[in-house]
Structure formats: structure tokens, C-alpha cells
Amino acid sequence: MDALITTHGLQKYFGSFHVLQDIDFSIAKGEVVCIIGPSGSGKSTFLRCINQLESIDGGYVTVDGEIVGYRRDGDKLYPLSDREIARQRQLVGMVFQRFLLFPHKTVLQNIIEGPVGVQKRLKAECISEAKTLLKRVGLAHKTHAYPGELSGGQQQRVAIARALAMKPKAMLFDEPTSALDPELVGEVLGVMKELAASGTTMIVVTHELGFCREVADRVVFMDAGRIVETGMPTEILENPQNPRVKNFISAVL
């Protein structure tokens, strides 16, 4: 199966700190990959490099066959314009730990902001699609509410709908439940499970190992900027081979 997203020898530094070290990774269309590992292992930075929120210092990323941030001319790579980068960024939706909704706009206005303002699509069409998305995430009754009137779980579901409204090829989730009260986690994971079941390509950075076990096609363990072990959920969560992975799993479960 052809890969939708790939990274080849991906390198990232923050000053002298080597955050990502020679990351080779791929995800096929419709696949769900969960990335786990200790804090500071480079998981979030990895997602941000895929979505061009962080520059890369070596290697390259492709999304749907395009090299991210560059065009190839022979054996050389040339940086894309800001406009081209903005276009590429729309290929991948991202949901963050914090919801990052516009507090002065209603739920509906938050969702249509990108499709109308960035993609220049017809407003009536975008409103219709936004209402469909709100129904999908269980918030059809909150169309005209403001973010401050919503619970954290509801705000995160709106953030998911907002990302989906841009019609991305894949969705990236950066610990989407870590900022939520425990009783609100399930409602967000429920939406993500439905997305996975519908064939959405997803890379999920998470500490929710139950979600990984139930939904992931593959689990990747990262530590100190490297991919240490990868395999099916049963392999990584029940019978990891690397001692570092074993210690992490035993401490978390």
C-alpha cells in the first residue's frame, strides 16, 4: 500500500539539543498510528515537522507524494514560497493539546473560518458542511455557542470538527486529551474512534494506551528523539522486545 506520509532521515535541533534523530517513518492511507513514549522524546515535535509548524534540519517529509516545504529540481531542493507552504499545510489537519478556538467567534464561525477565509469556498456550502461535522461530533445543539460556554471536551470536539472542515488528507492529534478532566476524555476518544472506523488516516500522540490497543493499526515507541520500536498494538503493549519499552509500559499500565 502506498504511503500517504513519509519521513526520510528526519533531523531536528533546538540549539545544540538533537530533538529528532534520523527518523524514518511512513503511514498508509486509512492507517491509524499511535505514537507513545516519555515526555521530551520528540513526539510532538515530530508532528509539528510533518505539518510545517517547525522547520527541519535534515532529511525530508512527503505528504501525498509532495516534498514538504520544498520543490525538487534535479538533485536539488528549493524552498517553497509562503503561499505554497500554506497550501501544503492544508493537506494535514492538526488537533493540539489546547483547543485554540477563537473565543470571540461562535462554534459555527470557528469551523468555517478556514474553509471560507483560507480556501475561499462558498460560505453557504461551508456552513452546511460545518453543521454536518457538528452533528458528527455530537454538538449539533452548540452551533451558536461561544467556546467559553463549552466544557473542555466539547471545545476539543469543536477543534476536531474545525480541522476536518479543511478536508485534510490526514489528521494529526497531539495528546488531544491531556488537558481534559478525566471524565471528559471519553467523549473526545469516542469521536476519534469514529474517525478511525470511517477510514481517516491518523497519527495520534497519546498516553491513552487503551485507545492504542483498541484503535491503532500500529504503535510506535519514541525515546530520546528516536523510534525505538514499532509494531502492532498487541506486540508493543503486551510483548515489547526493547527493555526501554518494557519499562515504560510496565510503569504506565
Residue for cell digits 471524565? Answer: 183
User: Per residue in 154-163, pLDDT tens?
Assistant: 999 999 999 9
Check if the beta carbon of residue 219 is closer than 8 Å to that of residue 230.
Answer: yes
- Which grid cell sits at 219? 504503535
Q: What is d(CA 140, CA 134) in angstroms, rounded to the nearest whole number?
A: 5
Measured CA to CA in angstroms, residue 59 lies from 4, 48, 216 at distances of 17, 15, 27
Nearest to 207 by CA among 229, 191, 185: 185
- Which grid cell sits at 216? 491503532
User: Per residue in 212-239, pLDDT tens?
Assistant: 999 999 999 999 999 999 999 999 999 9
Query: Average pLDDT of the chain?
Result: 95
According to DSSP, the residues that pair with 93 across neighbouring strands are 171
The residue type at 92? V
Confidence (pLDDT) at 1: 61
pTM: 0.95
Nearest to 165 by CA among 130, 127, 135: 130
User: Per residue in 12-67, pLDDT tens?
Assistant: 999 999 999 999 999 999 999 999 999 999 999 999 999 999 999 999 999 999 99
Number of H helices, E strands in the chain: 9, 12
